[in-house]
Chains A and B, each alone.
Chain A
Amino acid sequence: MADVVTEMSPLDGRAGSGADTAVIVEHPHLSKINLRGDSGDQAFMDAVADAVGAAPPVEANTVMTAGKHSILWLSPDEWLVVTPEGKQGDMEVALAGTLEGQHVSIVDGTDARTTIRLHGADSRNVLMKGCPLDLHPRIFGPGQCAQSILAKADVLIHQLDDTPTYDIYVLYSFSRYLWDWLADAAKGFS
């Protein structure tokens, strides 16, 4: 019998870190499906809504949430569908079903990136040490997302609430580096 392969994140075993007002915790193995299609095509929008519960956001840098599913805007024809751990197979099948026959791309990217959650009153100050985005609440708030750079690593940042809380999606190969950078950047806040 073949061995069962256990999913393991490169950040496996790292407990929460950071400062009291900027806590970092890993949320590994969130299901992440990269979806591409034409948002100007109503059949595409309807089919995605049937599978996910919400149509993809058309407005740049925004997130559409439906229950446990989120759809993050990546570009005018590209989104990341995020669902709870272990659900990537179900979501992929659901999307492939409702989108059958359409000119789309559905790619499971669950194990390409992990998610680091940064939470606390100083979270914005920590991000601002290494990110060129304008994170001022007037510009960037809950329900928004952006692909950018954090300490020279490519990241996708999603602001969840006003605390503020951010989910930072980063490639596995950059995750240990970014975790250490965040832990270091949080020093001095408390």
Chain B
Amino acid sequence: MFLIDCPYCGPRQQTEFHCHGEAHIARPKDPDAISDVEWADYLFNRSNTKGVFYERWVHNHGCRRWFNLARDTVSDRILAVYRMGEKPPRVKK
């Protein structure tokens, strides 16, 4: 259990949030032009990072807003929280 600093509501307990996996995966611009393998890669394949990982969260029991955070998958420490559309900040473990 940890506290997450919602960019809109402030610090709240993890139970109010839901994690939706790796952030910054661009949707292919022209899905019809790519192969099934490439499409499947976009849909299903994710990195399994040990260390700093950028992921999407939603404050689903609060303001229902999506945002990104950078988390160290080794220590579970949250290193940065930033809004959708913002560039991922450079963080140190």
Contact = CB atoms under 8 A, between A and B. Distances in A.
A66 interface: no
A interface: dominant SS: strand
Nearest to A76: B8
Contact of A60 (B8, B16, B61): B8
B49 interface: no
Given A60-B9, A60-B10, A76-B8, A148 B16 contact: yes
Given A60-B10, A61-B9, A76-B8, A149 B15 contact: yes
A72 B16 CA distance: 19
B8 A75 contact: yes
Size bin of chain B's contact surface = 10 to 19
Contacts of A21: none
A173 to B, nearest CB: 16
A17 interface: no
Contacts of B8: 60, 75-76
A154 interface: yes
A74 B8 CA distance: 10
22 contacts: A60-B8, A60-B9, A61-B10, A75-B8, A75-B62, A75-B64, A75-B65, A76-B8, A76-B65, A78-B63, A132-B12, A132-B13, A132-B15, A132-B16, A133-B12, A134-B11, A146-B9, A147-B61, A148-B16, A148-B62, A149-B16, A149-B61
Interface of A: 60-61, 74-76, 78, 132-134, 146-149, 154
